[in-house]
Structure 1
Amino acid sequence: MFHALMQPQEENPQEQEMESPRDGLKKERLLDDRHDSGLDSMKDEDYELMVKELKEIRIQPQEEQPGPPQEPWKQQVTEDGDTFLHLAIIHEEKTLTLEVIRQVAGDLAFLNAQNNLQQTPLHLAVITKQPEITETLLKAGCDPELRDFQGNTPLHLACEQGCLAGVGVLTQYCQTQDLLSVLQSTNYNGHTCLHLASIHGYLAIVEHLVSLGADVNAQEPCNGRTALHLAVDLQNPELVSLLLRCGADVNKVTYQGYSAYQLTWGRENTTIQKQLGQLTMENLQMLPESEDEESNDTESEFTEDELLYDDCVIGGQRLAL
């Protein structure tokens, strides 16, 4: 079991006045990626007590006792839905985290518990960039397909962060069927892992995902853009070249009928236009006529002296024409 060992600590009163424990733990990166750590919603005295307990906790060998083991810490959940394991990962208590995972081996309900933001411990291990913890969680049976409140799996988050170590661990230790499912899935914005890596320009991750079976021609469900369309939108010639080498279909069109080449019109980068122009079918190179142009070419059905309606009623009386 876990026991808190009280140890005297020397504190500088002046330093304590200048920076409180709450300020010390608010790392900009962690809070930005965590979205809402739940720390701000706690009372000062509760927050300081929690920080004190985390700093003073030490791991003691578990004594075997008759009957089922008593593990009250497994039942404790914060108002933000965080379990003891969530908190240990958030505060990057590596030794404590590994010991918790060891002691709950086989308890998949606990390992896959989701907080109020639908984040599992695996999500948080990726967010805080702890690849060793990520690997241990996967080996312990954590589900890599669970989504957070934005529909992101842990691999979506790693691709969005551009974390090669995280992507490597997640793709290496995922079961094959789980990995293929994650590569095909979209978050609530309609983006696959490949879309996210492309949007942020992480070329190495894009190439790695395609090598693992990610569909390079996958379309966003909202408008049908592929990674190649996104590369044109972002004016990233290196990404365009990579996607073409990976087998991207230049003749794939969006749901509005636009090829990637047609999206190059009116943009400054002519290199991308030349790359795509040589490969795109001729009928997908010219921009389609706009609805405004079509409406201007069509004469009005009515003259200025003609009324569109002949049954106007004012004050209950039909208007005489």
Structure 2
Amino acid sequence: MASAEDANGKVNLLEDNRIDSGVESFQYVTKDDPYNKPVRDSTSESSEARDKCSSNTEERLDSAYGSSSLTVENFSEILIEGCNISESEDDSAKNTELEHKENLLTNITEDGDTLLHLAIIHEDEHFAHQLIQLFPKDVLDIQNNLYQTPLHLATYLNLSSVVRDLVESGASLELQDQEGNTPLHMACEQGWVECATEMIRNVSSTKLTPVLESQNWRGLTSLHLATVNRQHRLMKLLMKKGADLNIQEGTSGKTPLHMAVELHDIVSMMLLLNKGADVDVPMFNGCTPLHLAVGRQDAAIANLLCQSGADKMLRNIEDETALDLAGGNDDILALFPFDDIQIQGRSVVRVPF
């Protein structure tokens, strides 16, 4: 059971990076960030347990992605002593043992973890599968103190078979952890294609739409996270399942196309544009993807957007067109028409006869 000192050392899944609405800056969280690295447990262990762990380069993870004092060996003992039902002919004995089993399986630690949480944390997939069959649906969705369900933890650890079993048993896809992430958010951030596939494989569009449109506390949907982390296979999967290509994140109104432009990611841009993403969707400050490309002096991206039909005359809330942000860049200026005729200060494009 984790101590108070452990709780203080728990690592959040996502940093609180703010997303501004300006042209010049946008911070993304990638898998290289420190929060993705598990933290060693400070819980005291026996010398024998430490000897066993020293030969294993992979650290065990608890609900805070640190480690737990409950060992995998304990699970086998618990399963044998508490979960197996004897063949007693006495009905009262059976009822007593069933009650004991129910109390054992629904017991919750001070961290809010059920036995299923702990089995997944220790990556004991066999035991996890047994527990999923024993637990009623409501227990499958119990959230620990960090609001993580067993499905969150199975996804984080890339246990795709456990994810499949949980989803087939009715585990919710919509519950959010303390960072506002659903399990699908987590799969898209970590790049776990198999887990994401298992989550949404057989889900109807009616039930899936709220999951695809769900925003975490930084305003990002699963498609935003897949785009930010250059997870092109996941982008394709989400698009195939009907994700809104023009959905705006909640802080500055960027669409996945805005984010791909800022990352200079032509592959993501082509995936979005070829599937029909709107090239002229403005952010909350009126900036289109073309404004961002020109503001970053990226002639190649700006050219691709122009070829895709971007409107060069749209103005942001500062009354600037993309041309106003060109800053004398000849490669970018070549993309824009020039004419001496102006009406109310705006250039008029000459139509050839």
| Partner of residue 252, structure 1 | 281
Determine if the alignment matches structure 1 residue 241 to structure 2 residue 264: no
In the TM superposition, residue 19 of structure 1 has moved relative to its aligned partner by: 4.0
Question: Which amino acid is the alignment partner of residue 234 of structure 1?
Answer: L
Partner of residue 203 from structure 2, selected from 174, 179, 183: 174
- Residue number among 223, 244, 248 corresponding to 1:194 in the alignment: 223
**SS of residue in 2 equivalent to 1:265:** helix
CA contact 1:152–1:187 (8 Å) conserved in 2: yes
1:85 has 2:113 as partner: no
| One-letter amino acid of the structure 2 residue matched with residue 189 of structure 1 | R
Asked which structure has the greater RCO (Cα within 8 Å, sep 6+), the reply is 2
Cα deviation, 1:111-160, whole Å, max 9, x if unaligned, reads 11100110111111111111111111111111111111111111111111
Aligned to 2:305: 276
Shift of 1:268: 5.3
The residue that corresponds to 1:7 in the other structure is: none
Kindly, what percent of the aligned residue pairs are identical?
Answer: 35
Deviation readout 1:26-51 (Å, 9 max, x if unpaired)? 835x65xx6724637xxxxxx2x645
SS at match of 1:133: helix
Query: Using the alignment, how far apart are the partners of 2:306 and 2:205 within structure 1?
Result: 38
Equivalences for residues 64-213 of structure 1 within 5 A: 65-66=91-92, 67=95, 69-70=98-99, 71=101, 72-104=103-135, 107-213=136-242
Q: What amino acid is aligned across from residue 122 of structure 2 in structure 1?
A: H
> TM-score, with normalisation over the residues of structure 2?
0.68
Equivalent residues, number: 264
Question: Secondary structure of the equivalent of 1:169?
Answer: helix
Contact 2:260 2:268 in 1 (8 A): yes
Deviation for aligned residue 1:274:
0.6
Separation in 1 of the partners of 2:52 and 2:144?
A: 23
Q: 1:130 to 1:255 in 2, by over 3 A?
A: same
2:75 is aligned to 54
Tell me, yes or no, if the aligned pair for 2:312 and 2:323 is still in contact at 8 Å.
Answer: no
Q: Which has the larger Rg?
A: 1
Check the 8 A contact 2:295/2:322 in 1, yes or no. Answer: no
Q: Could you tell me the TM-score, scaled by structure 1's length?
A: 0.74
Structure-2 residue corresponding to 1:6: none
* Structure 1 residues 24 and 73: CA distance shift in structure 2, 3 A: farther
Deviations 1:56-95 (A, max 9, x none): 5554742364436222212322221111000011111111
Residue 228 (str. 1) matches residue 257 (str. 2): yes
The alpha-carbon deviation at position 258 of structure 1 amounts to 0.3
TM superposition shift of 1:266: 4.3
Q: CA distance change for structure 1 residues 282 and 202 in 2, over 3 Å: closer, same or farther? A: same
Name stretches of at least 5 consecutive residues in structure 1 with no aligned partner: 1-15, 41-46, 291-321
Superposition deviation, residue 181 in structure 1: 1.0
> Residue 194 and residue 92 in structure 1: after superposition, are their counterparts in 2 closer, same or farther (change >3 A)?
same
Contact (CA 8 Å) 1:139, 1:173: kept in 2 or not? no
